[in-house]
């Protein structure tokens, strides 16, 4: 049943980790959360978990890298809600080695296989752009749409090129480059939508203890989800076209 009374959010990769915790953050604000998931069984279980906590949640089949699932998700939102207030492009992949994943100082730029680059960009960039384009008409139907692209500080070219930067030696080429490209999408889409109520921003969650981040990370999931939740619920005078971590601007 369509409703314009409550805000509706779609979170890709929403059945675990940061996506699921972000759904909790939004659920506490009374926002209906739709979990975009590749595995409907896991999505149903995650939505049921949120419901037991008192939140309004459901799951839809959505593989960001599989464009055939984008229309299915969009049609579901159109049929049941008629609009989309919040899109959080949270789904992402890290295809490089475990050594690189632990932030080893050695760079793999000259040896990273082309298939790793392509697979990483398919989810982290191309699929994310395609999904956003597919859902933008529904976001326009909301009073004040919010688009959050979950990036990473590792997408910052400014910090990567500064020897004094804390990430200077942490170069994982395919992942980093895909997040740099995602940041470019944020800047360009925010400019296109600058005269509308829609706000578009990039979020750096931090180094979070998730399956991707590993146990060595310094932030719990509850802390890592805060930036996405804040950008998803910005007031009318909030920023657009920015790159943030816990309210602080990051350099591109």
**What single string gives the DSSP state of each residue in 139-171?**
HHTSSS-EEEEE--GGG-HHHHT-TTSTTTT--
Catalytic member of 168, 175, 191, 243: 175
What is the C-alpha to C-alpha distance for residues 107 and 130, in angstroms, rounded to an integer? 30
b or e along 82-105 (b: 16 or more beta carbons within 10 Å of the residue's beta carbon)?
ebbbbbbbbbbbbbbeeebbebee
- State yes or no: is 191 an active-site residue: no
Q: Strand pairing of 243-245 and 248-249?
A: antiparallel
74 within 8 A of 134, measured Cβ to Cβ = yes
Question: Active-site positions?
Answer: 175
């Amino acid at each position: 049943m369509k409703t314009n009374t409550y805000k509706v959010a779609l979170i890709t990769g929403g059945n675990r980790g940061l996506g699921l915790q972000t759904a909790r953050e939004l659920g506490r604000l009374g926002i209906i959360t739709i979990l975009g998931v590749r595995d409907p069984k896991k999505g149903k279980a995650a939505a049921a978990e949120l419901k037991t906590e008192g939140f309004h949640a459901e799951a839809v089949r959505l593989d960001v890298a599989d464009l055939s699932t984008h229309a299915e998700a969009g049609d579901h939102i159109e049929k049941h809600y008629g609009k989309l207030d919040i899109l959080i492009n949270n789904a992402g992949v890290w295809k490089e080695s475990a050594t690189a994943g632990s932030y080893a100082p050695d760079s793999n730029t000259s040896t990273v296989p082309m298939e790793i680059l392509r697979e990483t960009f398919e989810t982290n960039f191309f699929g994310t752009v395609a999904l956003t384009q597919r859902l933008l008409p529904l976001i326009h139907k909301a009073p004040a749409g919010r688009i959050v692209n979950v990036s990473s500080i590792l997408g910052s070219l400014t910090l990567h090129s500064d020897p004094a930067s804390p990430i200077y030696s942490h170069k994982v080429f395919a992942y980093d480059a895909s997040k740099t490209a995602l940041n470019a999408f944020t800047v360009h889409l925010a400019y296109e939508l600058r005269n509308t109520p829609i706000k578009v921003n990039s979020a750096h969650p931090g180094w979070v203890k998730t399956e991707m981040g590993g146990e060595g990370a310094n932030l719990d999931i509850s802390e890592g989800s805060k930036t996405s939740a804040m950008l998803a619920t910005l007031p009318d005078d909030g920023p657009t076209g920015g790159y943030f971590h816990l309210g602080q601007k990051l350099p591109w």
